[in-house]
Structure 1
Amino acid sequence: MNFLAHLYLSGESDELILGNFIGDYVKGQQYLNYREDVQRGILLHRRIDSFTDNHQLVRQCARRFQPSYGRYAGIVTDVVFDHFLAKYWSAYSVYTLRQFSKHVHAVLLSNFIQLPSRVKGFLPFFIQHRRLESYAHAEGIRQSLEIMGRRTSLPEQTDFAMQVLTDEFGLIREEFEAFFSELVYFSENTFGVEIKKPVTHGLWADNVL
């Protein structure tokens, strides 16, 4: 999953938020250099990634992007899934996306000294451009993929990804919702994460949650 989903799945714990956000940038046993609950956040990040990478619905969705992205199709799927989480945020959280984003920014800034150097490098841009909120709009997803295409090994095939998202929007949304409800359940029950959801919303009515 991408940034927004990882942060959402950290629930109400600032320590989990911090650990989950930096999870990709803390390798091997380096996580032991952090406080206990931050360690849990890093380990949660790894478990979320493993659960996601091995889920049939995620692999099914990723196949749509493989013609242009090959083995990087899963990364595009992660970004696209963040779009659905942001776009329909009110179905998943009692907080507005703006409130949630501002809290995340405050947590990261107050723990700036603990952040890996690569995170320190991109965090000002991340906050200034309201990256988490931008995921709610197609243009924000386009910008994210374009940035990744320029700065990482992700192929520069943004037009293809956006066309797939447009053409397959309804089906991808169904796959996301089915998968994400399972991922929320996994995070809550494996790590004891407390996520404040609008439980009266129809999305959760028939779910094991």
Structure 2
Amino acid sequence: MNYIAHIHIGAHTKTNLLGNFLGDFVKGSQLTHLPFELEQGIRLHRSVDVFTDSHPLIIEAKQLFPRDIRRMAGVVLDIYFDYLLMSTWAQYSNTDFNSIFNEFYLQLEQFSLPKDPYFSKLSEHLITHQWLNKYMKLETCLRAFLSIENRLNNKVIFADKAQLFLHQNSEFLESRFHQFYPECLEHGMKYIQSYK
């Protein structure tokens, strides 16, 4: 799952929003130097990623991608699922997404990872422009694909083909998302209930 889904799962499980976001940025398994709520959120994020990557519906969806961009299927699905979540937010939350995002931005302002220049740049950009709600629009996905493509220094050209694939398979993928995401939320709740 991508940024918005992890933040939403944090809200759904009543765990720290920033911690759930940080799972891709804080490295290593030794997290006890962090405040408990951040450690908990990071571990939940990682558990959700493992659950997602091994889920039969996600594996099935990845196999549908054209062979030449299949290596990026997980990235494309993560971003597209954020769009689908935003498009159907009321099905999965009783709280307005702007309220959740505002709380997340406040938490982000009070945190830094000085040794991670990418995180620092992303964090500054997120706080300044507060663009998470732009995932209500499908074209935001393409901009995200192009941004990733540029960061990869043209090692993988996938953005345009991914956009075409999503257009051609939107009904199938939307159906899979709505089957998968409630299970993902349930997994998150069970993980937190058993977390020690």
Q: TM-score range by the shorter chain?
A: 0.7 to 0.9
Listed one character per residue, the Cα deviations across residues 54-100 of structure 1 (whole Å, up to 9, x for unaligned) are: 00111111223342323221111111111100111121112222222
CA contact (8 A) 1:64 1:164 kept: no
Structure 1 residue 113, shift from structure 2 partner: 3.7
- The separation in 2 between residues aligned to 1:60 and 1:12, in whole angstroms, is 26
CA contact (8 A) 2:10 2:16 kept: yes
Q: Among all aligned residue pairs of Structure 1 and Structure 2, give the percentage whose two residues are the same amino acid.
A: 27
Change (3 A) 1:116 1:14: farther
CA contact (8 A) 1:59 1:74 kept: no
5+ long unaligned stretches in structure 1: 194-209
Change (3 A) 1:41 1:116: farther
CA contact (8 A) 2:72 2:158 kept: no
Aligned positions of 1:53-92 closer than 5 A: 53-92=53-92
5+ long unaligned stretches in structure 2: none
Change (3 A) 1:188 1:41: same
What is the root-mean-square deviation of aligned Cα atoms in Å? 2.2
Aligned positions of 1:12-161 closer than 5 A: 16-109=16-109, 111-113=110-112, 117=116, 118-152=118-152, 155-161=156-162
CA contact (8 A) 1:101 1:132 kept: yes
Matched residue, 1:179: 180
- The separation in 1 between residues aligned to 2:13 and 2:169, in whole angstroms, is 35
Matched residue, 1:167: 168
Change (3 A) 1:7 1:159: same
Change (3 A) 1:181 1:13: closer
Q: Which amino acid is the alignment partner of residue 141 of structure 1?
A: C
- The separation in 2 between residues aligned to 1:68 and 1:101, in whole angstroms, is 35
Q: Which amino acid is the alignment partner of residue 21 of structure 1?
A: F
Equivalences, count: 192
